[in-house]
Amino acid sequence: MSVVEGGNPTERLHDTTGDDSAPVDPVTCVTMAVALRFGGAAWLKMLFAAGRRIPKIPEPMYRLAFIHFLRWTILEKVPDGEGGTDPLRPPCLLFEGDFDGNLVQYVDAFIQAVPVREWAVWNRGYDFPKLRPVERFAKWARGQSIEPDHYWFAYPEGTARTVAAGLRVNDAVAAFEAVATSATDDKEWHEHFQRLLAAVQKDI
């Protein structure tokens, strides 16, 4: 899941017809390994912990239509080859992502949508060049990238937004089924169904 230094991102054609908020094709996968400056691991642990506990922190990213998958991992130890681990100095932030469009489009869209969050994640990386100009930040990102040995994902048409919508619809349908089976007549069943349609209208 990565781009090659100085080359084009790993790309696969993907139809985004009907989704005007997503960058144009193709799909890009990226893996970055960013060495962290002193205090960077501790900063990111606090940041990610806050994101898990305060839904409003990651919430804007869920609305970005072009994201398929994102993951950040703080690496502080590596296998020693003998069943144990050795400390990794400096620690590293491993980023894995999969999104519609190319790397520059992705960076630009993220900076436009969530600039403070983007800065908060990357500013502790060595040689972080600031977020703007976008081309300079994208060049830095390519420099931290790792060439993939293998790339695959299970749901090529699913983005974070569409998957979240699907889960909400699934929950709403389950709730409807639970109450509709106890409806005493057609009118009551129809009322439950209308509430279901109102609940899922934005997600279908």
pLDDT per 10-residue tile (average), the chain, 204 residues: 33 38 60 93 94 86 75 92 92 88 81 88 93 90 84 70 81 89 87 88 82
Q: What is the pLDDT of residue 24?
A: 45
Q: Is the separation of the CB atoms in 103 and 134 below 8 Å?
A: no
DSSP per residue, 146-177: ---S----S-TT--HHHHHHHHHHHHHHHHHH
5 located within any domain: no
In terms of domains, do 112 and 167 share one? no
Q: What is the pLDDT of residue 19?
A: 42
Q: How far from the centroid of its chain's Cα atoms is residue 14's Cα?
A: 17
Q: What is the pLDDT of residue 37?
A: 94
Q: At what angle do helices 115-122 and 103-113 cross, to 10 degrees?
A: 110
The number of distinct structural domains making up the chain is 2
Domain with 172 in it = 162-203
**Tokens 């994208």, residue located:** 138
Instruction: Give the predicted TM-score (pTM) of the model.
Output: 0.65
122: nearest Cα among 80, 79, 72, 86: 72
In terms of domains, do 116 and 190 share one? no
Q: What is the pLDDT of residue 53?
A: 92
Q: What is the pLDDT of residue 26?
A: 65
72 located within any domain: yes
In terms of domains, do 64 and 93 share one? yes
40 located within any domain: yes
C-alpha distances in Å from residue 152, one per residue of 46, 156, 174, 204? 31, 9, 31, 27
115, two tokens: 């600039």
* DSSP H/E element including 114: none
Q: Name every residue whose Cβ is closer than 8 Å to that of residue 70 and which is 6 or more positions away in sequence.
A: 61, 95, 96, 97, 98, 99, 160
In terms of domains, do 77 and 175 share one? no
> Rounded to 5 degrees, what are φ and ψ at 6?
80, 0
Is the backbone peptide bond immediately before 148 cis, with ω within 30 degrees of 0? no
Q: What is the pLDDT of residue 160?
A: 65
